């Protein structure tokens, strides 16, 4: 079950006297928002690229059927380009998703816990995630270095692969920073459960998730009615 974070992309800037964790969380969220927008643009680019590939193949195949002198046409290296771009929309939004609690996890046991017990297991899970992420950064950096030093390239058009492989350890490093902020937030709550949660995603109950979805649906319906209203009314 996914959670929802107190910190969103529309969150106001914390005041100067706010806790250091709140200010660090807000500043780092700006980077995560930019990276997530870049991931969305990469997805849009792949979709537009795919449409261009389909249209070009269909158009030139039709023209070739009418006029055999016109050759069939397809974007050379299409698969290589798509595989290259895939790493960007697959990795750029990692930290943003972690901040929003958008990852999928089992909360059957955790949802029944309260207070320090819940924050202890959240801290433990985050600490394990930090260790795993560090190991992944080491492994993916070695993978990038091998590709860069040996000149690894794609099969079809010999596209250099090291830039895409460099993205992986870099984005895992951003995720690591987010996990460390969350670990700080969980340890803070473990020490004093009465504090306001900062920099941690809060799990939604079924009732809260249903209420949020209803509110979103009503908001979209209202916006659609306003957009469809004739001018002057």
Question: Could you tell me how far CA 35 lies from the centroid of its own chain?
Answer: 8
The CA distance from 131 to 127, in Å, is 6
Which pLDDT score is estimated for 43? 95
Cβ contacts of 24-30, under 8 Å, gap ≥ 24: 24/181, 24/199, 25/181, 25/185, 25/198, 25/199, 28/177, 28/178, 28/181, 29/99
CA torsion sign for 39, 45, 47, 49 is negative
The CA distance from 105 to 123, in Å, is 15
pLDDT, tens digit (0-9, with 9 covering 90-100), for 141-200: 999 999 999 988 888 888 999 999 999 999 999 999 999 999 999 999 999 999 989 988
Alpha-carbon dihedral angle through residues 81, 85, 86, 91, given to the nearest 10 degrees: 160
Which pLDDT score is estimated for 163? 93
Which pLDDT score is estimated for 78? 87
> Counting every residue, how long is the chain?
233
Q: Percent of the chain scored above 90 by pLDDT?
A: 48
Spatial CA neighbour of 165 closest among 183, 147, 139: 147
Full DSSP string of 61-101: HHHHHH-TTSPP---TTHHHHHHHHHHHHHHTTHHHHHHHT
Spatial CA neighbour of 91 closest among 141, 32, 46: 32
Are residues 20 and 218 in contact, defined by beta-carbon separation less than 8 angstroms? Answer: no
| Coil/strand/helix, residue 3 | strand
Beta strands, E only, the chain: 3-5, 201-203
Are residues 99 and 200 in contact, defined by beta-carbon separation less than 8 angstroms? Answer: no
What Cα–Cα distance (Å) separates residue 215 from each residue in 32, 204, 209, 218, 221?
26, 15, 10, 5, 10
pLDDT, tens digit (0-9, with 9 covering 90-100), for 5-59: 444 445 678 877 788 999 999 999 999 999 999 999 999 999 999 998 888 877 7
Backbone angles phi, psi at 150, to 5 degrees: -100, 0
């Amino acid at each position: 079950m996914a959670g929802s974070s107190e910190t969103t992309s529309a969150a106001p800037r914390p005041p100067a006297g706010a806790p250091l964790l709140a200010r660090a969380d807000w500043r780092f969220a700006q980077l995560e928002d930019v990276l997530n927008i870049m991931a969305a643009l990469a997805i849009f680019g792949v979709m537009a690229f795919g449409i261009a590939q389909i249209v070009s193949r269909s158009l030139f195949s039709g023209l070739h059927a009418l006029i055999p002198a016109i050759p069939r046409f397809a974007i050379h290296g299409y698969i290589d380009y798509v595989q290259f771009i895939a790493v960007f929309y697959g990795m750029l939004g990692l930290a943003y998703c972690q901040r929003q609690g958008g990852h999928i996890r089992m909360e059957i046991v955790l949802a029944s816990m309260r207070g320090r017990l819940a924050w202890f297991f959240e801290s433990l899970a985050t600490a394990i995630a930090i260790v795993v992420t560090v190991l992944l950064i080491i492994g993916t950096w070695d993978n990038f270095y091998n590709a860069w030093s040996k000149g690894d390239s794609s099969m079809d058009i010999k596209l250099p692969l090291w830039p895409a492989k460099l993205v992986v350890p870099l984005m895992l490093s951003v995720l690591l920073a987010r996990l460390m902020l969350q670990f700080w937030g969980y340890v803070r709550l473990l020490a004093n459960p009465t504090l306001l949660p900062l920099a941690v995603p809060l799990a939604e109950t079924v009732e809260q998730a249903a209420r949020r979805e209803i509110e979103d649906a009503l908001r979209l319906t209202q916006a659609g009615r306003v957009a469809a209203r004739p001018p002057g009314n």
